[in-house]
Each structure stands twice: as C-alpha cells, then as structure tokens.
Amino acid sequence: MIQAVDRALRILAVLQGGRRMSLGEIANRLDLAPSTVHGIIRTLLAHGMVAQERDSQRYRLGPATLRLGNVYLDTLELRARVSTWAEDLARRTGCAVRTGVLLLGDVVVVHHEPRPDGTRQMPEVGIVIPAHACALGKALLAFADDGLDQLPANSRSMTGETITDPAQLRDQLDVVRRTGLATEVEEAVLGECSVAAPLADAGSEVAGAIGLVVPTAEWPVGAAALDALRAAARAISRELGAPAWPPAVPIALRPPASA
C-alpha cells in the first residue's frame, strides 16, 4: 500500500457527507500530525479534490470529487442494469428503491427510485450511509471477503436502534447469508425501515445491493414485496453475468464442514 495515497483517500473519506472540518479536526480524526495532513491537503486543493472556505478556513470536498462521481455513476454497469428493474420494483411494491455499493465501510447510494405515489421526495443518489446501520450495507457485508473488517473499530450509533455490537452484527450477517435478505428497523433514520438483497456479478461475488425503503408504520413489508425484491435481485444478477443468486459465500466465511 502506498502510504501517501492511503492517507489522501482517508482524508477524502473523513470529509464525505458534506462535512466541513479544520486542519486540526482532520488530523485528530486520522491520528496524524497536522503537518502531515497539511501537505496532503495542499495537493488535494491543487487538484480540486478539496476546497477551503474563505471565512472559516475549514476544508470540504471540492468540485473535482463531483466530476469523478458523475463519471463513475455514468459508467457503472450496475447502475445501468438496475434502472429498469428498480422502476418496476417500485411500481409493484409501492416502496422507494435504493441500490448501493460498499466503500470504506459505508454504503454509497448509486441509484434511487422514489415511491410511485406522487409525493415530493428528495433525490438520494450519492448519499452515504454507514454499512452496519442499513439493510443495503448488511446485504453487502454478508457476502464480502472482509465483511466486518471493513467497519471502523467503533461503529457509531445513528439512532437508539443502531446495532454496533460486533457479535450481534455477525449473527445478523449469518442470517443474511442463509436467507438472501437483510433488514433494518430505524437503525439509520428514525421512522424508516428497509430490506435489501445482494446482487451478484459474473464472478459470483457481491457487486452491490438493492433494497426497499418504507416508513415504520408500513413495516414489515408483505411476502409479495419480498418475493418481488428477490426476483429483481436475481434478474439483475443474471444480467450482470452471475451464474447463480445469491452471491457465493467467501470461503473464509463458510461454516466448517461437519465430520
């Protein structure tokens, strides 16, 4: 691993989600010397990856990250494959549909299909949710090679319902691997629940996850909606070249063979 690149990526990760932070705050968060962080940030500023506010002198993500993000989304095969199926899934279930990928212990929403009820809804493409606190994240972590190793040592609580205990999370991921579905109830946002399924690629590995999002008052979703979610995940995976669905469980996560 190239140390300077690793540190630059960690700085960008700290600033994600619209955070505005001082040099000292960034250094403290990463446990690095301020002089080290300053040198890297100067390079990121030169390339537009980071911007500095004139009044507060705090740092935030720069416009170049948006350009990179748009290029990524435009060329992402997963997003292209998901679009039609997500629209159909939203129509059949009446739920909002999110598709996400795993990035540094978080889930980045790469496609969002609003509820088809005509209500005004905020676009969610690009939002970042801690993987341990959402169904999309659990569906991804359950089939990822390093699983819980991708999460920070002290996963933060988003609400009073967020599960942060590693043993509990491990048990939940075991259930996801058995059933192909992950759930969360108000763990990321109060009043919101979700269920998600992993998406497999041509190598039988997890490529992303697709999920239904509903208000708590409408939870749990019915069997027909779950069947529709599974069918959509299976169809998208097939278009991505997957020979089977759900994705293959990594060898390191498989239960030992019985004697």
Question: Which of 91, 141, 104 is CA-nearest to residue 14?
Answer: 104
Q: Is the pLDDT assigned to residue 259 strictly greater than 50?
A: no
Where among 11, 34, 67 does a domain terminate?
Answer: 67
- The CA distance from 144 to 132, in Å, is 13
Residues 213 and 177 in one domain: yes
Name the average pLDDT for the chain.
87
The label of the residue with tokens 């140390």 reads 3
Q: What share of the chain is helix, strand, coil (3-state, %, to 5)?
A: 45, 20, 35
Residues 63 and 80 in one domain: no
Residues 61 and 167 in one domain: no
Say if 178 falls within a structural domain.
yes
Residues 138 and 48 in one domain: no
Q: Is the pLDDT assigned to residue 148 strictly greater than 70?
A: no
| Residue numbers of the domain that contains 62 | 3-67
Domain total of the chain: 2
Residues 85 and 32 in one domain: no
Residues 41 and 137 in one domain: no
Q: Is the pLDDT assigned to residue 244 strictly greater than 50?
A: yes
Residues 164 and 44 in one domain: no
- The CA distance from 220 to 181, in Å, is 13
Residues 246 and 132 in one domain: yes
Say if 239 falls within a structural domain.
yes
Phi, psi (degrees; rounded to nearest 5) at 219:
-95, 140
Residues 249 and 174 in one domain: yes
CB 11 within 8 A of CB 37: yes
Q: What is the pLDDT of residue 17?
A: 67
Say if 259 falls within a structural domain.
no
CB 151 within 8 A of CB 185: no
Where among 67, 91, 110 does a domain terminate?
Answer: 67
Give 31-66 pLDDT, tens digit per residue: 999 999 999 999 999 888 899 988 888 999 888 777
Q: What is the pLDDT of residue 187?
A: 95
Q: State the pTM of this model.
A: 0.72
Residues 40 and 80 in one domain: no
Q: At what angle do helices 34-46 and 3-15 cross, to 10 degrees?
A: 80
Phi, psi (degrees; rounded to nearest 5) at 32:
-125, 160
Residues 92 and 186 in one domain: yes
Q: What is the pLDDT of residue 121?
A: 80
Question: Which of 141, 128, 145 is CA-nearest to residue 168?
Answer: 141
Say if 207 falls within a structural domain.
yes
